[in-house]
Copies of this chain bind each other. A is one copy, B any other.
């Protein structure tokens, strides 16, 4: 009976393929994401081969490696040979080494060669993002010769908008020319006459992909050449790959701010054990940090026993300090990320955050006093004979803790940047933990000075 069911499935998937075959590749990819990898692999075989290649080439397809792994080697190899080199490298990188080797052997010689080079670069490096399918011409060619060459090789190149002009003797990069520049130039003029007067912007293969993104964004490039130490072009990183990288980095920034080690893996595809491990590390470190709050409380246990009423406001005060700190940290991560501030601007931030913290603390203190007075007067709760002093203690502590939280939260990204870390690795839980411990000390310090002689 199993074979009947399989037959039904086959028919459905063939119909699915026929229904979607006319759509744009990214749309087919998005629709395939809704199917299981097994069904998606089956559908691909029902699509015309050139459509299947386009779909596999689309970064929109999330389970590309799984799908390719499910195809037989005979089916997979020709599809991979048609894909762009950087996407094939992406697929192979995620495979188990034996599968990868078996599949790589089936590729044509040229693809195999470029895979050997691309897979040698670490993940998230410019080298790992690049494609080897770019246009390069010797510097003694004319504009017309170059355009003629472009027309010939266009089908096999990822982009033809940037053309790299190399020294014919040692093949080192001399200039980058844009297709725009070529189209408006005289066909008989030397190709170098269509170039900008400056040396092209390049990136080394081991640079972080964020560096490539920064350069592409700063200089409004459509592609950036990846160049080795001798000046040879190894490949190019195109603007569309960079957009995908930026979108992923940006989602990871939020994740890091939430206190989870960044990883490129999708949520549901991360194994349970590896997901727990990723979270348990930071959570345990923070927990050990938080145990200092228990030590602080123990230190003040005399005060707590004498004035139990003080404990009622501990969560409120600590929470507010952490919240103020998270706000400040996120503001400064943003400002440093966008280049609005530099390391040496830290004192300007101090001069803003301290008054800001004082004002914010005073606002919360006012709400806090109102809350205590209201509850006392309405008879909802009796804070004891010294309730006004208790209110004053809570209010003063709030001003102190919110100010400290704003200051500590704003300085953390600077400290991280100063010591060579990404300022965006500051996380809200870390700030909260930092502020919690200090907040308790501030609270009991304020309480001792205000309540000593009455409650304490």
Interface residues of A (CB under 8 A from B): 24, 26, 30, 60, 62, 147, 150-151, 154, 160-161, 179-180, 183-184, 198, 213, 216-220, 222, 239-240, 242-244, 246-260, 266-269, 272, 275-276, 279-280, 282-284, 286-288, 290-291, 293-294, 297-298, 301, 304-305, 308, 311-316, 318-320, 322-324, 326-335, 337-338, 340-341, 345, 348-349, 352, 355-356, 359-360, 363-364, 367-368, 371, 381, 402, 424, 427-429, 432-433, 436, 440
CB nearest to A249 among chain B residues: B250
Our pick among B161, B247, B283, B301 for the contact of A161 (Cβ within 8 Å) is B161
Query: Assuming A253-B253, A266-B340, A287-B364, what are 16 further A-B pairs, CB within 8 angstroms?
Result: A179-B183, A239-B239, A246-B247, A251-B334, A254-B334, A268-B340, A269-B340, A276-B356, A279-B360, A280-B360, A282-B327, A283-B360, A291-B371, A311-B311, A326-B428, A428-B429
Contact B254 A424 (CB under 8 A): yes
Q: Chain B contacts of A314 at CB under 8 A?
A: 297, 311, 314-315
Q: How far is the CA of A370 from the CA of B221 in the complex (A)?
A: 57
Q: Chain B contacts of A331 at CB under 8 A?
A: 255, 258, 260, 267
Q: How far is the CA of A391 from the CA of B303 in the complex (A)?
A: 23
Q: Chain B contacts of A301 at CB under 8 A?
A: 308, 312
Q: How far is the CB of A271 from chain B (nearest CB, A)?
A: 11
Q: Chain B contacts of A356 at CB under 8 A?
A: 272, 275-276, 279
Contact B297 A315 (CB under 8 A): yes
Query: Given A247-B246, A268-B340, A316-B291, does the pair A327, B363 have CB atoms closer than 8 Å?
Result: no
Q: Chain B contacts of A367 at CB under 8 A?
A: 284, 287-288, 291
Q: How far is the CB of A355 from chain B (nearest CB, A)?
A: 7
Q: How far is the CA of A282 from the CA of B222 in the complex (A)?
A: 41
Contact B257 A428 (CB under 8 A): yes
Contact A280 B363 (CB under 8 A): yes
Q: Chain B contacts of A184 at CB under 8 A?
A: 150-151, 154
